[in-house]
Structure formats: structure tokens, C-alpha cells
């Protein structure tokens, strides 16, 4: 009888330990609508990014600096400062901002990040390996009219089981010739969460 009891306790113990072990996500499926709201946790999410970029792009394109321009203004995106306590990929945000602005054809962009690659290609094309008819070189690039930059701020408040997370993304477009900010706007996002008890 004791042997059976010891065996039963051992089996139950193994089951409990296996239930408390590390879990792995082993089964998944594609979410066909990436526009659906994602609030799995209290961190910055793709839903926050989509909402902020969508509203700020609409504001920028409706501003007279863009809407009344005789030709699509040339814009250079510099950086988005992350002033939150989270690790946020701000490059992904500025990439989405650039793509959404380009989709309507009212803005053109120069790529600051590609300058080193362009300079390296100039050197290669002028090394003698490329025909004269197709060579490119310095002096023909288009200068930017505006610089686009901004910052992302957050305020986190907690009281008991309640938590509030507030984000503010501010974007500015500065005239490169005059240094005057010709457009500035912000998008506010606030999310509320309630802590739940987790038990066996």
C-alpha cells in the first residue's frame, strides 16, 4: 500500500511540476486584419503606431505647406526621439510615416540614411568599372525643402489595481532654408488597464 501511495504522490508531483514549467507558444495562426486593436499588454503597440501615424499624416497633408505646394515638397526624415521608459523602435514609426506620406503622391523624400551608400556607389562608378554614359556622380542630387522630426513622450500612472498609460507623439516639419517650423501637430493616446489576480 505504501508503495502505491508513494507512486501516486510522485506522479502527482511530476504533473504539478510540469504544469508550473515554462510554457511555449506552439500553435498559431495568421491575423488577417492587422488594423484590429491590439491591447495584449500595457506597452506601446502596433495599434498605437497605426493610430498616431494615420492622424498625423492626415494633418500634415492637409496643411497648406503641402496641400498648396506647386510641386511635391522634398522632405527628409531625421529622427523621432523616444522619451518614454520603454524600448520602442522609432525607426519603424518614421518608416511608416514616410510610406503613408508618399502613398498620396504629395510629398517626395530624400533618404538621409542612404548617404554613405550613395557616396560609396559614386566612388565605385567613377573607378573606371562603369561606362561613362551611365556614371553618376556628386552634384546632381535634389536638396530637401523640409526636415521632419519629432518625439514620443509617455506618462504612466498607477493607483491600486488601476493603471493608465498616456502617449503623446509630436511631429514637426521645419523649412530647411528659413529654419521656421511650418507644421507641427501631436497625437494623444491614453489606455486604461486593470490588474487581475493570477492563480493556479
Give residue-wise pLDDT tens across range 157-171.
988 888 999 999 999
Query: Taking all residues of the chain, what is their mean pLDDT, rounded to a whole number?
Result: 85
Distance of CA 157 to the CA centre of its chain: 23
Which structural domains are found in the chain, ordered by start? Answer: 43-194 (3.40.50.10610)
CA separation for the pair 75, 150 (Å, rounded): 14
Q: Where are the beta strands (DSSP E) in the chain?
A: 74-82, 108-110, 146-159, 162-175, 181-194
Query: Of 181, 155, 186, 156, which is closest to residue 171 (Cα–Cα)?
Result: 186
Query: Of 193, 182, 186, which is closest to residue 153 (Cα–Cα)?
Result: 186
Interval 31-39 mean pLDDT:
59
Query: Of 12, 10, 46, 65, which is closest to residue 185 (Cα–Cα)?
Result: 65
pLDDT for residue 115 is more than 90: no
pLDDT of residue 48: 92
CA separation for the pair 181, 179 (Å, rounded): 7
How sure is the predictor about 55, in pLDDT bands with cuts at 50, 70 and 90?
A: very high
CA separation for the pair 80, 69 (Å, rounded): 25
Interval 10-36 mean pLDDT:
60
pLDDT for residue 98 is more than 90: yes
pTM for the whole structure = 0.76
Better-predicted residue by pLDDT, 15 or 104: 104
Per DSSP, the three-state class of 30 is: coil
Return the number of other C-beta atoms located less than 10 Å from residue 145's C-beta: 22
Amino acid at each position: 500500500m505504501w508503495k502505491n501511495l508513494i507512486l501516486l504522490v510522485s506522479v502527482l508531483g511530476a504533473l504539478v511540476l510540469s504544469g508550473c514549467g515554462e510554457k511555449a507558444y506552439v500553435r498559431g495562426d495568421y491575423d488577417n486584419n492587422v488594423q484590429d486593436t491590439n491591447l495584449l499588454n500595457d506597452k506601446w503597440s502596433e495599434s498605437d503606431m497605426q493610430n498616431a501615424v494615420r492622424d498625423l499624416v492626415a494633418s500634415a497633408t492637409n496643411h497648406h505647406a503641402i496641400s498648396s505646394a506647386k510641386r511635391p515638397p522634398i522632405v527628409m526624415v531625421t529622427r523621432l526621439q523616444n522619451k518614454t521608459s520603454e524600448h520602442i523602435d522609432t525607426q519603424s514609426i518614421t518608416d511608416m510615416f514616410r510610406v503613408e506620406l508618399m502613398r498620396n503622391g504629395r510629398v517626395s523624400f530624400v533618404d538621409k540614411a542612404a548617404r554613405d551608400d550613395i557616396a560609396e556607389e559614386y566612388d565605385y562608378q567613377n573607378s573606371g568599372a562603369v561606362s561613362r554614359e551611365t556614371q553618376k556622380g556628386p552634384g546632381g542630387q535634389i536638396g530637401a525643402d523640409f526636415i521632419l522630426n519629432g518625439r514620443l513622450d509617455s506618462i504612466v500612472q498607477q493607483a491600486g489595481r488601476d493603471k493608465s498609460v498616456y502617449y503623446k507623439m509630436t511631429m514637426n516639419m521645419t523649412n530647411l532654408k528659413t529654419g521656421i517650423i511650418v507644421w507641427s501637430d501631436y497625437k494623444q493616446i491614453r489606455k486604461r488597464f486593470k490588474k487581475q489576480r493570477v492563480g493556479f
